[in-house]
Chain A
Amino acid sequence: MIALDVRGLPPPEPFEQIMLALETLIKDDVLRVLIHREPYPLYEMLRESGYRHQTTALPDGNFSIEIGRAS
Chain B
Amino acid sequence: MLSTEQAPPITVPLRFFAMAPLFLLLAAAILATGNSFTDAPLLLAATHCLTLGFITMVMAGAMQQILPVVIGSPMPASKSIAWLTLLPMSTGTLSLAGGFLYSNPALLYAACLILGFGFLIFISACLIAIYRAAARTSTQFALLLAILTLTITATLGIILANGYASGTALDYSKLTAAHISMGLGGWVILLIAGVSYQVVPMFQLTPNYPGWFSSGFAPALFVVLLLGLVARWWDVISLGYLSAGLFWMLAVSFAIITLRLQSQRRRRVADATLSFFRLGMSSLLCVALLSTLALYPPLQEDLTTLSVVIFITGFALSVIFGMLYKIVPFLVWFHLFRGGVKKGVPNMKSIIPEVWMWRHVQLHRATLLAILTASIWNPARWLAITGLALQSILLSYALFTAITIYQRTLKNLTNA
Contacts and interface: CB of A to CB of B under 8 A. Distances in A.
A22 to B, nearest CB: 8
Contacts of B334: 12, 41
Contacts of B4: 41, 44-45, 48
Interface size class of A (residues with CB under 8 A): 10 to 19
Interface in B282-316: none
A10 B340 contact: no
Q: Top 5 nearest A-B pairs by Cβ distance?
A: A8-B266, A41-B2, A49-B340, A44-B4, A19-B341
Interface in A38-67: 40-41, 44-45, 48-49
Given A45-B338, A45-B339, A48-B340, A11 B330 contact: yes
Interface string B177-204: 0000000000000000000000001110
Contacts of A40: 1-3, 69
A26 interface: no
A41 B267 CA distance: 22
Interface size class of B (residues with CB under 8 A): 20 to 34
Interface of B: 1-5, 69, 201-203, 205, 266-267, 330, 333-334, 337-341, 348
B340 A19 contact: yes
B338 A11 contact: no
Given A41-B4, A45-B339, A48-B338, A12 B205 contact: no
Contact of A10 (B3, B205, B337, B338): B205
Interface in A16-42: 16, 19-20, 23, 36-37, 40-41
Contacts of B341: 19-20, 23
B344 to A, nearest CB: 14
Contact of B339 (A12, A36, A49): A49
Contacts of B69: 40
A14 to B, nearest CB: 11
Given A10-B203, A37-B201, A48 B267 contact: no
B3 A15 contact: no
Contacts of B203: 10-11
19 contacts: A8-B267, A10-B267, A11-B202, A11-B330, A11-B348, A12-B333, A12-B334, A12-B348, A15-B337, A16-B337, A20-B341, A36-B266, A40-B2, A40-B3, A41-B2, A44-B5, A45-B338, A45-B340, A48-B339
Nearest to A50: B340
A27 B337 CA distance: 23
Given A11-B203, A12-B333, A45-B338, 5 more contacts: A10-B203, A12-B337, A19-B337, A20-B341, A41-B1
Contacts of B5: 44
A36 B205 contact: yes
B3 A41 contact: yes
Nearest to B2: A41
A7 B1 CA distance: 17
B336 to A, nearest CB: 11
Q: Which of A10, A12, A15, A16 has most B Cβ within 10 Å?
A: A10
